[in-house]
Structure 1
Amino acid sequence: MKPRYLTKSRFKLALECPTKLYYDGKTEYANQNIEDPFLEALADGGFQVGELAKKYFPGGCEIKTLDYDEALHQTNELLKQENATIYEAAILFNNLFVRVDILRKNENKIELVEVKAKSFDAAKDSFLNANGEIVTKWFPYLSDIAFQKYVAMNSFPNHEISAYLMMADKNASCPTNGLNQKFKVAKDANGRKKVVVTQQLSAEDLAEQILLQVNVDEPCAAIYSNGFEDVSFGEYVALLADHYQRDEKIGWPLSATCAKCQYRTNKQEKTLGLKSGFEECWREKLNWTDNDFLEPNVIEIWSFRKKNQYIKEGRIKLSEIAEEDISPKADKKPGLSPTQRQWLQVQKVQCQDTTCWIDSENLRREMSGWIYPLHFIDFETSSVAIPFNKGRRPYEGIAFQFSHHVIYEDGQIEHRGQYLNVEPGKFPNYEFIRSLKAELEYDNGSIFRYAAHENTYLNLIYKQLMEDQEEIPDRETLCHFIRTITQSVGGSEAQWNGVRNMIDMCELVKRYYYSPAMKGSNSIKQVLPSILNSSRFLQEKYSKPIYGAQGGITSLNYNNWKWIEFVDDRVKDPYKLLPKMFQDVSEKDFELLSDSEDLNNGGAALTAYARLQFEEMTDYERKEIHQALLKYCELDTLAMVMIYEAWKDMIFPLEHSGEDRLS
C-alpha cells in the first residue's frame, strides 16, 4: 500500500474543508469533480503553462516516476550536486510529501517555484492588504506554496529556502506567432494525454518571457505567523497529516461552503450504492434522516450573506427562517429587490407553493418598450495563458463563436445567423465583430443577452481595436458599432451607453420572475427547464417536430426537431437531448463541464475549442466537435427565445389561443 502522506494536493483539499481528507480517494464515496485530471486542467485553461515554465529554466532534470521512494531517491541524488535544476522534485518531511514544480539549488540556497494558471500584474496586484493580511483571492495559491516551503525548510534545515509563484504576466506580449501551437497535446503509449513541446521552439519564442516569477516569502511568513483556526501553521499541518495517516475523519463545523462539496451523490450514483460524504457530515452533526435532506435549506437561498449565521444557530431548513431573518426591503427599482427575492424563495417553500411568480405589470412595461425584430445573441469565448498570436497578452480574451435568433413582430422565429472559428492559431475577434455587425446592423430592433458576459467581451474587443498597432481599415466603424450596442465597463477611459444597448435577460429574471424549481439559481441552465415545466404553451408548441422543419422555425443546425420529451412527468432538460460533444469523455465529466459554474473560464464549449486548438485529431473528430459546438450554441439563444415566449404568454395571453396558458 502507498504511504498515506499529506501531499500538496491533499493540503489544498483540506483548505476547502479538513473533513474532505477522509473522503479523498475512497471509491465508495461519490465525487462530483471531473474525473479526468487532464480534462479538468484543459477546462481550466492552464495545462500548457507548466511546460512553458520549464523552458525558462533550461537544463533541468525531470522526476517522472510516480513512486514516492524512487522520486525521493532521484531528487536527493540530484541535490548532492552543488547546482541543480529539478522539475517535479520530491521532498519528504515526516508524513508530509510534496512535488515541487521547479526546484533550483545553488550551493546552500534552494528556490521553490510553483507554477499557477493565474495572471498577475506586478504594478497593480498585491498579495497583502494594508493590514498585512493575505488578500482573499490569493489565499489558496499562497497557502499551497507556503506548505511546500514549510516541508522544504524542515527537510533541509541547513539551507536557505525561498518561495516563488510563477504566473502569466498581464503586461507581457507574446514574442512570436504560433507559440501556443508549439505546446501540443498528444497521447503516450498507454493512451494517456500529455503535452509535447515541438522541436520548432526557438530562442525568439522565449526572448520575452510571458510568465512572471514573483517572490512570496513575505506572504508565506504572514501565513506562518497567523496560523490556522487558533493553532500555529505547523500544528495545523501536523493535525491534518496525523488524521490522514490514521484514516480518521476530522469533524469540522458545517458552513455555507458545504453547498460546493464535491462528495455528493447524483440520482444514478445513489442507485449504485455510492455514499455521500456531504450527507454523512450533515447526519453526524444534525442527526438528519433521509427525509430531512428532501427539505430545502438555507444554503440554497440566492445571494444570501447570513447563511453561516443561521447554520451556527441550527436554523437550517427554510421552514425555520422568519421574515425578520431576511428583512426584505424595496430598493426603489422596479420589481423585486435582492432581499425581497430571497424572502419570496423562502415564502414559496413555507407555503408549499410550487407555482411561478411574475411581476406582470413591470415586465409588461419593459416588454412594451422593446423594438421588433428582437435579437437574441450568445457568445462562446476563451482565454489562454499562452497566446496564439504575436503581441497578444496572456489570458487575453478570444471570442470564437456566436449564435443569433430573431423574433419578428408577427411571432415568426428564425435562427438567423451564427459564427464559429476554430482554426488553430487564428485570432478571430475582428472577424467575429464584423460578422456580428452584419447580423445586427440592418434594423433598430432590441438586442438581448443573458448576463454580463457579452457586454464584457465586446468592451474587450473595443479595447483591442483601439490599442492594436496594426492597420485595421474599418477600426472606427467597428468601434462605433460596439458603442451602439453596449455600455462601457468600469475602468474604461471612454464612457458610453449605446442607443441599442443590449438588454440583460438575467437581470429581468432577477427582478421580475421566480420559479421554485430554480432553487435560488438564475443560470439559464436552471431557468430553461423550470419554465418549460411550467408552460403548457411551450410544451404544446415544442413537443411537435417544428424546429428546423419546412413551414416551422428556421434552424441552421437542426431538422424536424422536437424539444419536449417527458421523463417521470417532467420535461427533460433540452441540453440532455443533444448528442455528446466528445466521444472519449465520460457522461459524468461532460455533464460537469456543461453545468459547472466554478470553472475559471469553464464549460464544454471552451474545452471543445481548446481541444480543436491544441490536439492532434482526425478530420472526422474535428468535424463532429465543430457540428456539436454549433448545436449547443444555437440552443443557448433558443433558450432565451423560449423564456421570452413564456413571459409573453403569461403577460399578453390574448395573443395566444385557447388553452395555451401558463399554469
Structure 2
Amino acid sequence: MDAEPLATLPAIIPRLSKSKFVSGLQCLKRLYLEMHHPQLATTPDLSTQAILDMGTEIGAVARRRFPGGVLVAASHRRREAALTETAELMRNAAVPALFEAAFLHDGVLIRVDVLERVPAESGEPVRWRLIEVKSSTKIKDVHLDDLAIQSHVLLGAGLSLAAVCLMHINTSYVYKDGEVDLAQLFTLQDVTQAVLARRALVPDRLGAMRSTLLQPDPPPIDPGLQCRTPYECPFWNHCTADKPVRWIYRLPGSKHQVTQWAAQGITLIDEIPPSAALSPTQRRVKDNVEWVSPALADILQSVRYPVHHLDFETVMLPVPKFSSTRPYQAIPVQWSNHIEEESGELVHREFLHDLATEPRRRWAEALIESLGEQGSICVYSAYERSVMEQLVEVFPEYRSAFNHIIKRLWDLFPIVRDHYYHPAFGGSYSIKSVLPAIVPSMGYDDLAIQEGGQAASEYYRMVFVETDWIEQAAIKEALLRYCARDTLAMVELRRALGERARNLSL
C-alpha cells in the first residue's frame, strides 16, 4: 500500500509515547508506519501476545510492593482525564505512590509504571522516584532508552527526580509456602547515571523523529539487522513482501556477515561466492537441493523397540506458585508418549495436570510408569533431558528412574540436522518446519494451539485464570491435541526418513 500524500497527513504530528520513541530508535521507518499506516503491521502471534500479557501481570504484582499507592484510573484513551487525575493525586501528600501516572511534555505523552513520592523535610520541595517495571531478568539498553524519554518528560513537566530506577524479576529468589516475598521477587536498581547520558540525546532524537513523520513517504530504509533488535518489527512482512525467495537475508545464522555481503551488492543467496565460509546448514540452503546422508539408514535402524516418542510441555511462572521454585523455572505439567511396537502398532498415552496444585510428583510418576523399562525414547531436542535433570534435583527419590530414562533417549533433532535436508526447510530444523516438508499431510495449522509458547499461556489461563468449566475443558482438549501432534509427528518423521534412506540405497 502506497503512503498517503503529504496533503492528507495530519497537519500536526500525532503525539509520541515512550513506546513510539523506542520504535523510532529501532527504525525510523517502523515509527513512520506505526504512526501513519498501523494497519500494515502483522498482528502479534499468540506467543508474542502471551509475553505482553505477562508484562501486564508483572506490572500489577509490582504495585503491591508500594502499599497505599493509587492507580490512575483514566484509560490511555482518556488523555485529559488521566492528566487531571494525576495532578490531583500528586497534590495529595497522603498518596505515597502513583501507578500509571500521566504526563505530557514536548509533544510526548507517557504513563509511568510507578512514581514514588520521596519523603522530604518540612518546607523542602517534593521529590519523586521514577520506577519502570519490566518482566525481564536483567537491565537492557532498551530499558534505559525507555527511562530516558520518561525522565525527559517528567523533568520538563516540572518534577524533581530523586532517582530513576528499573525494577525487574530476580531469578535467584526461591519461593517458599505462603505469601510471595515481593522484596525478593523484584530487583530494584538505580540507573540514574546510566540514563543521564541517554537523556541528553533525547531532544535531537525527537527532532529526527518529527522530521521523518512530516515526510510524505516513509524513509527508504532497507530491512536489516535493526528489524530484529531490540524487538521483532511488526512490519517485517510488509517491508519484505517484494523480496525474492532467495533474498540474502533469508540465509539462516548470523546476519552480520549477511549485512557485509549486502553492502557489497550481493542480494541473493545464489550470489554468495563459492569460497565463502558457510556453516553446514548455510551451505545446504545455498545448494538448495534435497540431501540425504549415506549414514541415515543405519542411524535410524539403531532404535530399540518399543520406540517411545516423547514430548513435554512446561509452564514458566514469573511469580512462583509452588514451594521451592524460582521465577521462570520450567515446571513440567504435561507429556505425550506415542509408543510404536516393532509390528508397527501404535499406542498413545498422555498426561496433563489440570489443577492449580504442585504438578511435578503426579507428572513424574505417570511418566515413569508409561515409559517402562524397555525401548528407545525418541525426542526432538535436549529439552526433555534438561527438564528431568532439573526435576531430580528437587525430588531425588526419582533419580534412579530418570537416570535410566535419560540413558534411553534418542534425539531425532541432530539426526535430521546432520543427515537430511530439504529445500522446504528454509534453513530451519524446527519440527514445525521439518514436518510439513517431509510429511506434507501433517502440520499444525488445524490445531487451536500451534506452538509451545501459546501452550504455556493457555495452560496458565486454564488453571489459574479461567473459571468457566466449559472454557477450561476446551483449553484442556486443545493442549492434549497439540502435545499429541508433537509426538505423532516424530513417529511419522522417523517413518518418512526411513523411506528416503531406503530409496537412496536402491
- Give your verdict on TM over 0.5: yes
Aligned to 1:422: 354
Q: Spell out, residue by residue over 1:373-405, the C-alpha distance to the aligned partner (whole angstroms, 9 max, x if none).
A: 222111111111112224432222211111111
Equivalent position SS for 1:577: coil
Task: Write the distance in 2 (CA, Å) between the matches of 1:507 and 1:223.
Answer: 44
Aligned to 1:213: 188
Task: Write the distance in 2 (CA, Å) between the matches of 1:262 and 1:208.
Answer: 35
Q: Contact 1:168–1:211 at 8 Å: present in 2 too?
A: yes
Equivalent position SS for 2:304: coil
Task: Write the distance in 2 (CA, Å) between the matches of 1:485 and 1:146.
Answer: 51
Task: Write the distance in 1 (CA, Å) between the matches of 2:35 and 2:206.
Answer: 19
Q: Contact 1:175–1:207 at 8 Å: present in 2 too?
A: no
Task: Write the distance in 2 (CA, Å) between the matches of 1:654 and 1:35.
Answer: 39
Compute the TM-score of the two structures, normalised by the length of structure 2. Answer: 0.86
Amino acid aligned to 1:162? A
Q: Contact 1:164–1:217 at 8 Å: present in 2 too?
A: yes
Deviation at 1:222, TM superposition (A): 5.4
Match of 2:292 among 354, 358, 373: 358
Q: Contact 1:264–1:277 at 8 Å: present in 2 too?
A: yes
Amino acid aligned to 1:16? Q
Matched, 1:308 2:259: yes
Q: Contact 1:91–1:99 at 8 Å: present in 2 too?
A: yes
Q: Contact 2:466–2:472 at 8 Å: present in 1 too?
A: no
CA RMSD of superposed structures (Å): 2.9
Matched, 1:437 2:455: no
Task: Write the distance in 2 (CA, Å) between the matches of 1:456 and 1:147.
Answer: 41
Task: Write the distance in 1 (CA, Å) between the matches of 2:464 and 2:210.
Answer: 38
Q: Contact 2:164–2:191 at 8 Å: present in 1 too?
A: yes
Matched, 1:239 2:208: yes
Equivalent residues in 2 for 1:12-23 (5 A)?
A: 12-23=22-33
Matched, 1:119 2:53: no
Q: Contact 1:169–1:212 at 8 Å: present in 2 too?
A: yes
Match of 1:91 among 100, 103, 106: 103
Task: Write the distance in 1 (CA, Å) between the matches of 2:457 and 2:493.
Answer: 27
Deviation at 1:519, TM superposition (A): 0.9
Q: Spell out, residue by residue over 1:588-634, the C-alpha distance to the aligned partner (whole angstroms, 9 max, x if none).
A: xxxxxx35xxxxxx522112101112323322111111112111110
Matched, 1:481 2:401: yes
Equivalent residues in 2 for 1:428-467 (5 A)?
A: 428-443=359-374, 445-465=375-395
Distance verdict in 2 for CA 1:296–1:4, change over 3 Å: same
Aligned to 1:10: 20
Matched, 1:575 2:425: no
Task: Write the distance in 1 (CA, Å) between the matches of 2:245 and 2:324.
Answer: 54
Aligned to 1:104: 116
Task: Write the distance in 2 (CA, Å) between the matches of 1:646 and 1:577.
Answer: 21
Range moving further from structure 2, 502-511 or 9-18: 9-18
Matched, 1:263 2:132: no
Task: Write the distance in 2 (CA, Å) between the matches of 1:247 and 1:430.
Answer: 62
Range moving further from structure 2, 510-519 or 41-50: 41-50
* Percent of pairs with identical residues: 26
Task: Write the distance in 2 (CA, Å) between the matches of 1:139 and 1:207.
Answer: 25
Compute the TM-score of the two structures, normalised by the length of structure 1. Answer: 0.67
Q: Contact 1:381–1:606 at 8 Å: present in 2 too?
A: yes
Amino acid aligned to 1:643? L
Distance verdict in 2 for CA 1:32–1:455, change over 3 Å: farther
Deviation at 1:248, TM superposition (A): 6.0
Amino acid aligned to 1:243? T
Q: Which runs of 5+ in 2 are unaligned?
A: 1-9, 119-124
Equivalent residues in 2 for 1:141-540 (5 A)?
A: 141-156=143-158, 159-174=160-175, 176-177=177-178, 204=179, 209-221=184-196, 223-224=198-199, 232-244=201-213, 249-258=218-227, 260-263=232-235, 276-279=238-241, 290=242, 293-305=243-255, 306-325=257-276, 327-328=277-278, 339-348=279-288, 353=289, 356-359=290-293, 361-415=294-348, 417-424=349-356, 426-443=357-374, 445-465=375-395, 475-476=396-397, 478-486=398-406, 499-500=407-408, 502-533=409-440
Distance verdict in 2 for CA 1:482–1:148, change over 3 Å: farther
Q: Which runs of 5+ in 1 are unaligned?
A: 121-126, 128-137, 178-203, 226-231, 266-275, 280-289, 329-338, 466-474, 487-498, 534-563, 565-572, 582-593, 596-601, 656-660
Task: Write the distance in 1 (CA, Å) between the matches of 2:205 and 2:504.
Answer: 66
Deviation at 1:36, TM superposition (A): 8.6
Distance verdict in 2 for CA 1:295–1:367, change over 3 Å: closer
Q: Spell out, residue by residue over 1:401-434, the C-alpha distance to the aligned partner (whole angstroms, 9 max, x if none).
A: 111112222333322x11101212x121222122
Bigger proportion of residues as helix: 2
Deviation at 1:644, TM superposition (A): 0.5
Aligned to 2:83: 72
Deviation at 1:35, TM superposition (A): 7.6
